[in-house]
Amino acid sequence: MDTNEQSTFEETVRQWRHVSAELKALRNLESDLRQKIVDALSAADSFGQSKTATVKLGNLSVKATKKTSLQIMDQEALTAVFETLPPPVKECFTWSPKVILSRYKMLQAADREAANSFLVEKEAAPMLAVTEIKSEGRW
């Protein structure tokens, strides 16, 4: 990189670092404020027996929905008894295969070829970490 490209690159890295930190702070603030609003509506018993509350605030309509999620506590235990479960219970679960990269990387060529017939490689969002260093070094 020449000096001009280096300067532009360094400015881009600084800008990314600043925006990344701001975005993280804003995400945390938004989450905290959302929870505060739901807590206030809960305290006012706006939800009643429902998971949804809608209130008018001046020219705004505020709709909040309480959510829960179900997670499998013990996947091994479920897998062990899955075939014995009644069909309606089985239909409550879906199995999503995923690649275990560490095991995939250990496959021999023939096995990797067999696995590859089920896989497609797509570019993912890149990862970037920028940390401050003590000394002012250049590339």
Structure tokens at 90: 């089985």
Name residue 119's beta-bridge partners. Answer: none
- The predicted model gives 42-66 an average pLDDT of 91
Name residue 60's beta-bridge partners. Answer: 57
Which residues are CB-neighbours of 37 under 8 A, at least 6 positions away?
A: 62, 64
Instruction: Note the pLDDT of residue 92.
Output: 93
pLDDT digit string (tens) for 92-138?
998 888 899 999 999 999 999 999 999 998 988 888 887 788 876 56
pLDDT band at 59 (very low <50, low <70, confident <90, very high): very high
Q: Is 48 left (phi over 0), alpha (psi -120 to 50) or beta?
A: left
Instruction: Note the pLDDT of residue 137.
Output: 59
1: number of Cβ within 10 Å? 10
The domain spans of the chain are 3-116
